[in-house]
Each structure stands twice: as structure tokens, then as C-alpha cells.
């Protein structure tokens, strides 16, 4: 029993790193039980509920059982986990109260005191019962009493700390049951203790770690705690495993197989690289200064933890184990191995097209270089990765990589690059406000540095600094005259997080003179340019990838250049407006980080705005410029300067232009209506474009009066003054003074580049087509009248041009303007006969769109023959004449003695527009002059058709007789005295030819249809002609025409022998038949000239000539009569053809 007295060596039962359990009390007893115990303990798994939310685990418990010694108990502050005893067990076989009281109780008390002294609460008392022993003892107490005693003495309230193990070495069910209960208890207690102490250990470690900033903190102390769970060990293991696997693969494959399997192995390479990197960082191998002593300690511990290399690789030159040992041995070796691995990994990724992965490893490499203070090597990897992220539009990686790049560029001293990256970061919304402000401040700090090279500029793209949002012109059509003021207001959206003071904002303007372009004339510009004046600039979607198919579409426009003078086409073509967007290098669109060679254009024309503070967000900036040279100004670049830093927008797109023009003063006179009508007051608009001339007080327009055109002065004439952009600026009364020769219009005072508009009423005096100036017309007595009358065919109005010469104050030359007036009426006249009674008919046709009121129509004989009377048959004195309608007037001619051979008439009628109530002036009447000749009836022709004898009606196909009776109505008159007149025995006769023509083909004339007769020139002389005609149709048929011609024989000898019929029939084309197509051309004077022309045409031909008698001289008394023809009876043939 006195086990403690025997200096037995501590029992150590194999197995390392198992929780330690001490055994006190009866060592022999424990030794006997131990084999069963160590075998049974791990058999059943236990659920281990862990702290800090770690998942529960089923574990098989094993323990190191050692003999209890006081030294084993941990001293206060000992943190070692593995040497810590988790449970203390006291073994006893005692069943005798006496023995218990004598020794066991005392021993137990000592044991308990030692434990208490070390504040160890994890203990257990085991009482082993042996039936054999029980039987040997007679003075035995109930066994429970010993257990109860022990429980009473030691386990107050913790009765479970005392267990009974019955007959442990027997093979009975009771024994088994007892073992199970014991083992369960043991496991539970062990686990409880383990959990409790592990938690305490972790807490201690955390406390220690948190204390590291305190003075006197010892890393070694920390490490000694820490190293019992070494963090680098796992990394080492992963690294070694990866390389082992890869080496195995390499060992059993040839090169080609390895290459084809890169996709599967590259992951391991990458993993190994990553682990080596983290080991490097852990061991302080990745720093400028190299590892410190702590790093070295850690490294030593790690290497020690690796243990010895396995024998199978120990003798090879290369092995993962050796590689790792070497890599961790020195900074240089680590760098070599890490770079080798990284490069191999990048190369492999690249070879199988995993560019993104390659870039990602490259970024790790860049980080390594940055740590090693080798930014020049890091840059290329950062740029490569950034380019990739930009191309695919990954905002967060872009921001992160840019931040790294900024640091790299700062270290490299790449000022421009760094500033540009800073500007991009300052405008990056993925960064915090503080970070953005920091990068913005970096730019501002640099900009405010006094430069050692004054005038040196750092040019950066504007996009990230501020964006041009819109632009607005005032005047809104972006057209301004020379000397005028143009305002350009732009909205700039500042991307910076803080207000930035900008020394100046400059717009570079390109100037071009396009003198020959029609579009650039002042007229075109002021009228045609679009006038909304706001140009919006599309926001550039910054981190959005530019894929090949999302390039902007071609903006093609047709271009026409026209001649300014006659508007004829000079050039045409197609232009592409966004060529700079399409043709820019693909490269530059993706690598935004490079200062993309923004070129500052040096131009003479600049718009400038100084000392502007750009607040974050939208800012309005106004440029003001006074236009100087005429031409087109294109806004090219926008620059904002902050100290020596210039932010430049290299192309302003869409194209923004403004035009400056100069203009000569001009006068335009144009009718208000489509056409001016003669005879009534008409409005004419005067437009004075002042151009560069300023209208002063007293300037006036001097109009030299046109004779037939009156300028009607109204009291209330007003002139409007507009600016060239059609904004009304004033209006003023117009003073008009008229004298005989000159009308003077005083112009209102107007500044340059304005427009003065006013209206005047003019009146052109109307007239009919002049009849060769035989007589002067009313009020048109001026001798040098210039009427250019154009009588056009159809219903076109006769026009009259009036030219007015105007003297303008800005020029020594006169402006001649021509106004064309249209005569609203067309007048025709006709002579009507009824036997010997004569009538004159005048037809007035209104060709205009207006309605008129006609009044006071007169027809007078201007030759004033006394015995002639013109008796009007018109009843109404007032008569409306509507647009496009005609009105007829008729007078009867009456005479008492022999009528005059010709009659000069003048028709006049008063007119006024029907719509207007009262005109300010009285209008002159409309006049029309004409002449009537040969109006006295000489012959009466009467034709009659009789049915065949014995028949009541004419029948188709049967011959009927046509009787023509020609009667002379007067004795010899003046008009008869011509070549056809022959005299014999004081009797006069004249030769006439008659002709029967049926143009409507109703009749067939049988036999001769014409003949020459000698007609005595005496009143009531008659001639009768008989002919046969045959009706071709049934019905009421008009009689065939009987025409009468004067037969003028040729003077040569043989001319009379010609048979008139023969030449008419044989050579009808040459017959000089006048007047067939002029039924009412009785008296126009022009007839004479036609006649003479015709006669000269036939000069030399021995032919008789025919002259139609003027219509007024022949009266056909049977015109209009009809004869009834009935169809013949056998006329029944009906032909029907069906196809």
C-alpha cells in the first residue's frame, strides 16, 4: 500500500501528446487494472462539445497515466498545454473501516491537500471491490459504509467524484457493467477537464497576445505558448504535399503529358506558391530589412517542426523538403524560390489561356516586389492586371489595383502617372471619402508646389477630374455679328470630393473662314441655324468595357456646298462626324492609366474664365467673348489648370461651333401678297437690314417716283425695329413726305445689325393692252412711260413692271427695285349682227382671286361721228364680278346715214374690290379701247334644203336639192372699192366665190361644191345657186355651211382662165383662204398686215386669190336652221361582230 515510498519510476504509458492523468493511492492495484483500462478507454467515442461555436466532435479518448507526484502539478502561470495533468485519480482497495481510518483516510487527505494547493479540481477516487477479499474478512462492514465514509469525508456535494469498480479482473456481467459505468465517468470527467483547461489556455494566449504592445511583453513567452499549435506548420505541410504530388507526377510522365495536363496541375502550383508566400511573410523574409530575431526564432521552430527528412528522399539532390528548408533559410533563397514558383505558375496559366488567374498571381508578385522596395518590377504586373480588369469592367478590383499602382508610381517618381492615377482614385466612388480626399490632396499638394521649371505643365486627361455635361449659347442660335457679345455657359461636373480652386478654365477655339460657303452667309445663318442652343454631352461610362461591337455607330451626313450667288451645287459628299471616336487606337481606350498623350493645342483663339472654384458636383461656368473676325469658330479643347497641373479634354464632341458674320446694309422691297394687282391699293413690305451701318437721326430713303405708280401716304404708318435674332426692340412712327418727283421716308434710329420693317401702300394704275399708242389713256399721259406688257396665252394676267429708284443713306448708288403688277381683268369685244342691225359686245373677265364690284360702264365713240349712236342694252349700273368669272356688256350701233367704214371705241368701267367697304382714294376706272371695221352688212346668204319632189321629208341616201340665195343689201360703198370690182356700163359688179362645206359630215355634196359668181353691186341684187346634197344620217340635221369669199383675180393675162374649182381641188393647200378660223375677227387692225404678208407670199404666182368677207359684211340668215331627215326603209342591216 505504501506505494509512494517505493521509488518507482513514473509510469509512462507510451503515446505522446495525450492528456496526462495521474494515479495516486494503491499503485499495484492500478498496475493490475491498467491493461484493461488503457484498452477499454478509447473504445467508445465521446461527443466533444467545444467552445467558441466550434462544431462538436466525436473523439476517442486516450490518456497518459503517470504516477502522481507533486512536481507534476502545474505551478501558477504555467501555460504549457501538453505537460498539464488533466485528471488525478486515487485508487484504493480498502474495505476495512479500521484500515481506512488508520492509513487510507490520511493518505487521501494529503492527496487532496496537494491538489487544493495547486487549485486542481479535477480528481476522482476509485474504490475497487474484490469478492474474494470480502470473503476472507469476517469483520466486514457493509461495503457501502466505506464508500459512504469516503464520500462523506471528501466528496461533499460531489458524490460522483467517487466510483466503485467491482471485480475488475473477473469475466462476469457484473464486472462488465461496472467497467462501463466507470469508463463513462472517466471519459466524461476527462473531457470536462480537457475542455475547461483548453479554454483557459486559449484565453491565456489571447491575453498574452493582446499584451504585446505593453512594455516587457516577451515574444518568447508568447511563442512558447503559441508554438504548441504552430500556424506555419500547416502551410509547410500544404507546400510540401503540393510539391510532393507534383514531383510524383513529373516522375511518371513525359514532358508532353505534363504539358497537356497543366490545367489540372496548375492549381497545385498556384497553391504551393500561395503557401510559400504566406510562409515568407510569416518568417519575415518578405521585407526590405530581412527577418528580425523573432522571425528567425519562428523560422527555427518551423524548421524544427518539420522533423527529419524521410529516408526515401534524404539522399536526393532535389526534394520538396530540401526546397522548403532552403527557401526558409535566407531572404535570397526565399526570393529565388518564390520567384521561380510564381513565374512558373504565371507561365503555366498563360499557356493554357487562364489570363485572369495569371494576372492575379502577378498581382501577388507585385505585392512582393513592393514589399521588397522594388516598385519598378511591380509596375508591369499591376498595369497588366489593371488593364485586364478595366477591359472587363470589374470596378472593385480596378479600384484596389489602382490604389496599389498609385503607391508604386509614387515610389517610382512617375509624377504624371501618379497624378493621373490619383485623379482617377479621387473620383472613385468605391473608395471612402477619406481615401478620395487623400488622393485629391495629393494632386493639390503637387499643384501648389513651387515649380523649379516655371511654365512646365503636367497635362492630364480631364475625364476623371471633371466632366463636361452641357453647353448653352446665348444667343441661342450661336450666331453673332461682328462686335456682338456671345456667352457660352457650360456645366462641368466635378468628380473631386472637395472644392478645387482652378486658376483658369480655357476653351481652345479653332477659327476658320468659309467665305465661299452658302451656309455661312448672314442671311442663311440668321434664318437657318437651329436655335435651341443647348448641347448635351453624353457621359462617358467610365468602367464599362468597350467591346468590339459596342463601338459607336458611324454618324454620316450628306454635305452640300452651294454657291452663295445662285445657290447652285458646288460640292457634295458624305462626311463622318464622329471619326475621332472611331479611329482612335483601341489600345488607348483600354489603357486609361497611361497619360494618353493629350496634346495641348496652341491656338490664337481662347475663351477664358479665371479663378473658378469647382464644387463637387455640377458647376456653371460662363465664358463671354466679343466677336471679332467673321467666320466659324469650333470649340476644340477644354482645359482646367490647377497650378502646374492641366486637366485637358482633348476633343469636345459632339462638335460645338459658333458663327460670326458681318453684313452689308441692305434694302428689300417685296409685296405682301403673292402678286400685286394693278388698279387697287397694294401693300409692299420694306425691309432694311442695317448690317454694320447704324441708322442715324435724319437718315431717309429717297424714292424717285415712278409715273404710273403712286405711293399712298397713310397717316398711321409705323416701322418695327428688330434685332437680327428677331427680337423686337422698338417701333416708331414713319414720316413720309411726297413731292412731285421724290418721296422721302425718314427711317427710325436703329443700331447696327438690326432690321427695320414697314409697309407702304402703292397703287399701279390699270390699263388694258395698249393699242399701239393711238390714243392716250386716262392719267397716263407721261411720255416716257415704260410699260412692258406681256400678253400671255391662256388666262394669265397681263403684268406691268414699275421700276423705282431708291437712294439709301449708306450708299452713293441708287437701288433700283422692280415691282410687277398684274392687271386683274382681261377684256375682249365682239361685233354681233342681226340682218343689218349691229351690236357691240364687251366681255370683262376677272382673272384675279378677288371679287370686284363693277359700276358705270361706258362705251364711247372716240371719233365722234355725229350720226352714230351707241345705245346701251345693259340694265344694271352696279354689277359684281366674281373671281374667275366674266361679265358681258352689249351696245347697239345705230346710224342714220351711211355708216363709217370703221369705228373707234373706248370702253370704261369703274371697279373696286368687293370686300373693302371704303377706300381712302377714288380709283380710276378700267378702260379698254378697240376698233371695229367693216361692220356694215353687204350680203345676205340664205340656204334651203328641199326633199326630192313628191316626198314630204328628206330621206337618208336620197338626193335633196340645196338652194342658196345671195342677196346684195346695199349700193356701192367705199368698202367695195377693191380689185374684185369691175365696172361696165356704169354698172358695177364684183366677183364672189361661194363654197358649201359640211364639216360635220352630215351631208354629201354632189357635184360642184363651189363656184364663182359675178355679183352686181346694187341693192337687192340676188344670185341663186342650186346644188344636190344627200343626207347621210337621219334626224334633225343642221344645214351645211355656205361661205362667201371675195374672188380677186390675178392681173396677168392667163390668170382668169383658170378654173377656180380645179385649183381649189388640186392645190387646196395653197389657197389663200383667210378668216376660216377667225369667225369674229371682223375688224382687228392687224388683219391688214396679215393680208399683206400673205399676198407677198404668193407674189409671182399667176393665181387668183380668195379673201374671206369680214363677218360683219355677210349675214347668214339661215344659220341655225335644221332639216328633218328620216331614215330610209331598207336601212335594217345590223352588223354585229363578236370576237
Tell me how many degrees the CA angle 782-783-787 measures, rounded to the nearest 5. Answer: 85
- Contact criterion met (CB below 8 Å) for 516 and 564: yes
Q: Which of 170, 377, 400, 438 binds another protein (CB under 8 A)?
A: 400
**In this complex, which beta carbon is closest to another protein, that of residue 349 or of residue 891?**
349
Residues 308-337 that bind another protein (CB under 8 A): none
- In sequence order, what DSSP letters do the residues of 729-759 get, joined into one string? EEEEE-EEEE-SSEEEEEPPPB-SSEEEEEE
Q: What whole-number distance in Å separates Cα of residue 1081 and Cα of residue 1112?
A: 9
Cell 519598378 sits at which residue? 376
Q: Which of 369, 389, 658, 889 binds another protein (CB under 8 A)?
A: 389
Number of residues located near another protein, criterion CB under 8 A: 21
Q: How far is the CB of 822 from another protein (least distance, A)?
A: 51
First vs last Cα of the chain: how many Å apart?
151
**In this complex, which beta carbon is closest to another protein, that of residue 536 or of residue 613?**
536
Eight-class DSSP state of 976:
G
Q: Which of 42, 230, 267, 1038 binds another protein (CB under 8 A)?
A: 267
E strands, 477-562, are: 479-481, 485-494, 500-512, 534-536, 556-562
**In this complex, which beta carbon is closest to another protein, that of residue 356 or of residue 519?**
356
Q: Which stretch binds another protein (CB under 8 A): 309-317, 349-357, 461-469, 607-615?
A: 349-357
Q: Which stretch binds another protein (CB under 8 A): 56-64, 395-403, 721-729, 1069-1077?
A: 395-403
Q: How far is the CB of 547 from another protein (least distance, A)?
A: 5
**In this complex, which beta carbon is closest to another protein, that of residue 331 or of residue 425?**
425
**Would you count residue 357 as binding another protein (CB under 8 A)?**
yes
**In this complex, which beta carbon is closest to another protein, that of residue 343 or of residue 400?**
400
CB atoms within 10 A of CB 917: 6
Q: At what angle do helices 105-117 and 143-154 cross, to 10 degrees?
A: 30
Q: Which stretch binds another protein (CB under 8 A): 19-27, 394-402, 751-759, 843-851?
A: 394-402
Q: Which of 85, 168, 384, 397 binds another protein (CB under 8 A)?
A: 397
Q: How many residues does the chain have?
A: 1139
Q: What whole-number distance in Å separates Cα of residue 725 and Cα of residue 86?
A: 101
- Contact criterion met (CB below 8 Å) for 493 and 462: no
Residues 532-571 that bind another protein (CB under 8 A): 544-545, 547
Q: How far is the CB of 424 from another protein (least distance, A)?
A: 17
Q: How far is the CB of 410 from another protein (least distance, A)?
A: 21
**In this complex, which beta carbon is closest to another protein, that of residue 235 or of residue 659?**
235
Q: What whole-number distance in Å separates Cα of residue 130 and Cα of residue 133?
A: 5
Q: What whole-number distance in Å separates Cα of residue 1112 and Cα of residue 831?
A: 7
Q: How far is the CB of 235 from another protein (least distance, A)?
A: 10
Q: Which stretch binds another protein (CB under 8 A): 203-211, 354-362, 522-530, 856-864?
A: 354-362
- Contact criterion met (CB below 8 Å) for 712 and 920: yes
Write each residue from 470 to 499 as x if it is in contact with another protein (CB under 8 A), else as -, in one continuous string: ------------------------------
Distances (CA, A) of 478 to 531, 635, 729: 8, 12, 20
**In this complex, which beta carbon is closest to another protein, that of residue 390 or of residue 830?**
390
Q: What whole-number distance in Å separates Cα of residue 993 and Cα of residue 1130?
A: 39
- Three-class SS of residue 882? coil
Tell me how many degrees the CA angle 947-949-950 measures, rounded to the nearest 5. Answer: 105
- Contact criterion met (CB below 8 Å) for 440 and 495: no
Q: Which of 263, 576, 672, 871 binds another protein (CB under 8 A)?
A: 263
Eight-class DSSP state of 161:
G
- Three-class SS of residue 876? coil
Torsion sign across C-alpha atoms 482, 487, 490, 496: positive
Q: Which stretch binds another protein (CB under 8 A): 296-304, 346-354, 657-665, 947-955?
A: 346-354
Q: Which stretch binds another protein (CB under 8 A): 389-397, 473-481, 520-528, 1113-1121?
A: 389-397
Q: How far is the CB of 271 from another protein (least distance, A)?
A: 8
Q: Which stretch binds another protein (CB under 8 A): 352-360, 551-559, 1014-1022, 1023-1031?
A: 352-360
Closest CA to 701 of 817, 547, 616, 600: 817
**Would you count residue 281 as binding another protein (CB under 8 A)?**
no
**In this complex, which beta carbon is closest to another protein, that of residue 542 or of residue 1071?**
542
Q: At what angle do helices 355-371 and 262-282 cross, to 10 degrees?
A: 20
Q: Which of 18, 356, 787, 1087 binds another protein (CB under 8 A)?
A: 356
CB atoms within 10 A of CB 429: 11
Write each residue from 857 to 896 as x if it is in contact with another protein (CB under 8 A), else as -, in one continuous string: ----------------------------------------
Q: How far is the CB of 391 from another protein (least distance, A)?
A: 8
- Three-class SS of residue 367? helix
- Three-class SS of residue 841? strand
| Phi, psi for 645 (deg, rounded to 5) | -95, 125
Q: How far is the CB of 389 from another protein (least distance, A)?
A: 7
**Would you count residue 205 as binding another protein (CB under 8 A)?**
no
Q: Which of 121, 314, 396, 1019 binds another protein (CB under 8 A)?
A: 396
| Phi, psi for 3 (deg, rounded to 5) | -65, -35
- Contact criterion met (CB below 8 Å) for 704 and 674: no
Residue 918 grid cell: 371704303
**Would you count residue 18 as binding another protein (CB under 8 A)?**
no
Pairing assessment for the beta strands 709-712 and 754-764 based on DSSP bridges: antiparallel
**In this complex, which beta carbon is closest to another protein, that of residue 355 or of residue 482?**
355
Q: Is 475 exposed, middle or buried (0-12, 13-18, 19+ CB in 10 A)?
A: buried
**In this complex, which beta carbon is closest to another protein, that of residue 355 or of residue 1126?**
355
Closest CA to 1094 of 1080, 1109, 1075, 1078: 1075
Write each residue from 820 to 859 as x if it is in contact with another protein (CB under 8 A), else as -, in one continuous string: ----------------------------------------
- Contact criterion met (CB below 8 Å) for 520 and 505: no
**Would you count residue 354 as binding another protein (CB under 8 A)?**
yes
**Would you count residue 246 as binding another protein (CB under 8 A)?**
no
**Would you count residue 353 as binding another protein (CB under 8 A)?**
yes
Q: Which of 355, 542, 609, 1058 binds another protein (CB under 8 A)?
A: 355
CB atoms within 10 A of CB 177: 11
**In this complex, which beta carbon is closest to another protein, that of residue 547 or of residue 920?**
547
Q: Which of 394, 493, 858, 895 binds another protein (CB under 8 A)?
A: 394
Q: Which stretch binds another protein (CB under 8 A): 351-359, 838-846, 1020-1028, 1085-1093?
A: 351-359
Q: How far is the CB of 249 from another protein (least distance, A)?
A: 18
**In this complex, which beta carbon is closest to another protein, that of residue 281 or of residue 394?**
394
Pairing assessment for the beta strands 700-704 and 742-746 based on DSSP bridges: antiparallel
1014 bridge partner residues:
991
Q: Which stretch binds another protein (CB under 8 A): 388-396, 914-922, 927-935, 1010-1018?
A: 388-396
Q: What whole-number distance in Å separates Cα of residue 706 and Cα of residue 701?
A: 15
Cell 487544493 sits at which residue? 116
**In this complex, which beta carbon is closest to another protein, that of residue 392 or of residue 587?**
392
Q: How far is the CB of 275 from another protein (least distance, A)?
A: 9
**In this complex, which beta carbon is closest to another protein, that of residue 315 or of residue 550?**
550
Q: Which stretch binds another protein (CB under 8 A): 87-95, 353-361, 563-571, 840-848?
A: 353-361
- Applying CB under 8 A, the residues found at the interface with another protein are 263, 267, 349, 352-357, 360, 389, 392-397, 400, 544-545, 547
Amino acid at each position: 500500500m505504501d506505494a509512494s515510498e517505493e521509488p518507482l519510476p513514473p509510469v509512462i504509458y507510451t503515446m505522446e501528446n495525450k492528456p496526462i492523468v495521474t494515479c495516486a493511492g494503491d499503485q499495484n492495484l492500478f498496475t493490475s487494472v491498467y491493461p484493461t483500462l488503457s484498452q477499454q478507454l478509447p473504445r467508445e467515442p465521446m461527443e466533444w462539445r467545444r467552445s467558441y461555436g466550434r462544431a462538436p466532435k466525436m473523439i476517442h479518448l486516450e490518456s497518459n497515466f503517470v504516477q502522481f507526484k507533486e512536481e507534476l502539478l502545474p505551478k501558477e502561470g504555467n501555460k504549457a498545454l501538453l505537460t498539464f495533468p488533466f485528471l488525478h485519480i486515487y485508487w484504493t482497495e480498502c474495505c476495512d473501516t479500521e484500515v481506512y481510518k488508520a492509513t487510507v483516510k490520511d493518505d487521501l487527505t494529503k492527496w487532496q491537500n496537494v491538489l487544493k494547493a495547486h487549485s486542481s479540481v479535477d480528481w476522482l477516487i476509485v474504490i475497487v471491490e474484490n469478492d474474494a477479499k470480502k470473503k476472507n474478512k469476517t469483520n466486514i462492514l457493509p461495503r457501502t459504509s466505506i464508500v459512504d465514509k469516503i464520500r462523506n469525508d471528501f466528496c461533499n456535494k460531489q458524490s460522483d467524484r467517487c466510483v466503485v469498480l467491482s471485480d475488475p479482473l473477473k469475466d462476469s456481467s457484473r464486472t462488465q457493467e461496472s467497467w462501463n459505468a466507470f469508463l463513462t465517468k472517466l471519459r466524461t470527467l476527462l473531457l470536462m477537464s480537457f475542455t475547461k483547461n483548453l479554454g483557459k489556455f486559449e484565453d491565456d494566449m489571447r491575453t498574452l497576445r493582446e499584451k504585446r504592445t505593453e512594455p516587457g511583453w516577451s515574444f518568447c513567452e508568447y511563442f512558447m505558448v503559441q508554438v504548441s499549435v504552430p500556424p506555419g506548420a500547416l502551410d509547410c505541410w500544404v507546400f510540401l504535399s503540393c510539391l510532393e504530388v507534383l514531383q510524383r507526377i513529373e516522375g511518371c510522365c513525359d514532358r508532353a503529358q505534363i504539358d497537356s495536363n497543366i490545367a489540372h496541375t496548375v492549381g497545385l502550383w498556384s497553391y504551393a506558391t500561395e503557401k510559400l508566400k504566406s510562409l515568407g511573410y510569416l518568417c519575415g523574409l518578405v521585407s526590405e530589412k530581412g527577418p528580425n530575431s523573432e522571425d528567425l526564432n519562428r523560422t527555427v521552430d518551423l524548421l524544427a517542426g518539420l522533423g527529419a527528412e524521410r529516408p526515401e528522399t534524404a539522399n536526393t539532390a532535389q526534394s520538396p523538403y530540401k526546397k522548403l528548408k532552403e527557401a526558409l533559410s535566407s531572404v535570397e533563397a526565399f526570393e529565388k524560390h518564390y520567384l521561380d514558383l510564381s513565374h512558373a505558375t504565371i507561365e503555366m496559366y498563360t499557356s493554357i489561356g487562364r489570363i485572369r488567374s495569371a494576372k492575379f498571381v502577378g498581382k501577388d508578385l507585385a505585392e512582393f516586389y513592393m514589399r521588397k522596395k522594388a516598385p519598378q518590377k511591380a509596375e508591369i504586373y499591376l498595369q497588366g492586371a489593371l488593364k485586364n480588369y478595366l477591359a472587363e469592367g470589374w470596378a472593385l478590383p480596378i479600384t484596389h489595383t489602382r490604389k496599389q499602382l498609385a503607391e508604386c508610381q509614387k515610389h517610382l517618381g512617375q509624377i504624371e502617372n501618379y497624378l493621373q492615377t490619383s485623379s482617377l482614385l479621387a473620383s472613385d466612388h468605391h473608395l471612402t471619402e477619406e481615401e478620395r480626399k487623400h488622393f485629391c490632396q495629393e494632386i493639390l499638394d503637387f499643384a501648389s508646389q513651387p515649380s523649379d521649371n516655371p511654365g512646365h505643365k503636367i497635362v492630364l486627361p480631364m475625364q476623371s477630374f471633371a466632366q463636361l455635361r452641357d453647353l448653352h449659347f446665348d444667343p441661342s442660335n450661336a450666331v453673332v455679328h461682328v462686335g456682338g457679345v456671345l456667352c457660352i455657359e457650360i456645366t462641368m461636373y466635378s468628380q473631386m470630393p472637395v472644392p478645387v480652386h482652378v486658376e483658369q478654365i480655357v476653351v481652345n477655339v479653332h477659327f476658320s473662314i468659309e467665305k465661299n460657303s452658302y451656309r455661312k452667309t448672314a442671311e442663311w445663318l440668321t434664318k437657318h441655324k437651329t436655335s435651341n442652343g443647348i448641347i448635351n454631352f453624353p457621359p462617358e461610362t467610365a468602367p464599362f468595357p468597350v467591346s468590339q461591337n459596342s463601338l459607336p455607330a458611324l454618324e454620316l451626313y450628306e454635305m452640300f456646298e452651294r454657291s452663295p450667288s445662285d445657290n447652285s451645287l458646288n460640292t457634295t459628299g458624305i462626311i463622318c462626324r464622329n471619326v475621332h471616336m472611331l479611329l482612335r487606337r483601341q489600345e488607348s481606350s483600354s489603357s486609361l492609366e497611361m497619360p494618353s498623350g493629350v496634346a495641348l493645342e496652341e491656338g490664337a483663339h481662347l475663351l477664358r474664365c479665371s479663378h473658378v472654384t469647382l464644387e463637387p458636383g455640377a458647376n456653371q461656368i460662363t465664358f463671354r467673348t466679343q466677336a471679332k473676325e467673321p467666320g466659324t469658330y469650333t470649340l476644340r479643347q477644354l482645359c482646367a489648370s490647377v497650378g502646374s497641373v492641366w486637366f485637358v479634354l482633348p476633343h469636345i464632341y459632339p462638335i460645338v461651333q459658333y458663327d460670326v458674320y458681318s453684313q452689308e446694309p441692305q434694302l428689300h422691297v417685296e409685296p405682301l401678297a403673292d402678286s400685286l394687282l394693278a388698279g387697287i391699293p397694294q401693300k409692299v413690305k420694306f425691309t432694311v437690314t442695317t448690317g454694320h451701318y447704324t441708322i442715324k437721326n435724319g437718315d431717309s430713303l429717297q424714292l424717285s417716283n415712278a409715273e404710273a405708280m403712286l405711293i399712298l401716304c397713310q397717316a398711321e404708318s409705323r416701322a418695327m425695329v428688330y434685332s437680327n435674332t428677331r427680337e423686337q426692340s422698338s417701333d416708331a412712327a414713319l414720316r413720309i413726305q411726297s413731292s412731285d418727283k421724290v418721296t422721302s421716308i425718314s427711317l427710325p434710329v436703329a443700331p447696327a445689325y438690326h432690321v427695320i420693317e414697314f409697309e407702304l401702300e402703292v397703287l399701279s394704275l390699270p390699263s388694258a393692252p395698249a393699242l399701239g399708242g393711238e390714243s392716250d389713256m386716262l392719267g397716263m399721259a407721261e411720255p416716257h412711260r415704260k410699260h412692258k406688257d406681256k400678253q400671255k396665252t391662256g388666262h394669265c394676267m397681263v403684268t406691268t413692271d414699275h421700276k423705282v429708284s431708291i437712294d439709301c443713306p449708306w450708299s452713293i448708288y441708287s437701288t433700283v427695285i422692280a415691282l410687277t403688277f398684274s392687271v386683274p381683268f382681261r377684256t375682249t369685244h365682239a361685233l354681233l349682227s342681226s340682218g343689218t342691225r349691229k351690236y357691240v359686245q364687251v366681255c370683262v373677265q376677272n382673272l384675279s382671286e378677288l371679287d370686284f364690284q363693277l359700276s358705270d360702264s361706258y362705251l364711247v365713240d372716240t371719233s365722234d361721228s355725229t350720226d352714230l349712236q351707241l345705245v346701251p342694252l345693259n340694265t344694271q349700273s352696279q354689277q359684281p364680278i366674281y373671281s374667275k368669272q366674266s361679265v358681258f356688256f352689249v351696245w347697239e350701233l345705230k346710224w342714220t346715214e351711211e355708216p363709217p367704214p370703221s369705228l373707234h371705241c373706248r370702253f370704261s368701267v369703274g371697279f373696286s374690290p368687293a370686300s373693302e367697304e371704303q377706300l381712302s382714294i377714288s380709283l380710276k376706272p378700267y378702260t379698254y379701247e378697240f376698233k371695229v371695221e367693216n361692220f356694215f352688212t353687204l350680203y345676205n346668204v340664205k340656204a334651203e334644203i328641199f326633199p326630192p319632189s313628191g316626198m314630204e321629208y328628206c330621206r337618208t341616201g336620197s338626193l335633196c336639192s340645196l338652194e342658196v340665195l345671195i342677196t346684195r343689201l346695199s349700193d356701192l360703198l367705199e368698202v367695195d372699192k377693191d380689185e374684185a370690182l369691175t365696172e361696165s356700163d356704169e354698172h358695177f359688179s364684183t366677183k364672189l366665190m361661194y363654197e358649201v362645206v359640211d364639216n360635220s359630215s352630215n351631208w354629201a355634196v354632189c357635184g360642184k361644191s363651189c363656184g364663182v359668181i359675178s355679183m352686181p353691186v346694187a341693192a337687192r341684187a340676188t344670185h341663186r345657186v342650186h346644188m344636190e346634197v344627200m343626207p347621210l344620217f337621219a334626224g334633225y340635221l343642221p344645214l351645211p355651211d355656205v361661205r362667201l369669199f371675195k374672188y380677186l383675180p390675178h392681173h396677168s393675162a392667163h390668170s382668169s382662165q383658170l378654173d377656180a374649182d380645179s385649183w381649189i381641188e388640186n392645190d387646196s393647200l395653197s389657197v389663200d383662204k383667210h378668216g376660216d378660223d377667225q369667225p369674229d375677227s371682223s375688224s382687228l387692225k392687224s388683219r391688214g398686215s396679215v393680208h399683206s404678208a400673205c399676198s407677198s407670199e404668193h407674189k409671182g404666182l399667176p393665181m387668183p386669190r380668195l379673201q374671206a368677207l369680214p363677218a360683219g359684211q355677210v349675214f347668214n340668215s339661215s344659220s341655225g336652221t335644221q332639216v328633218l331627215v328620216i331614215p330610209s326603209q331598207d336601212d335594217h342591216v345590223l352588223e354585229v361582230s363578236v370576237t
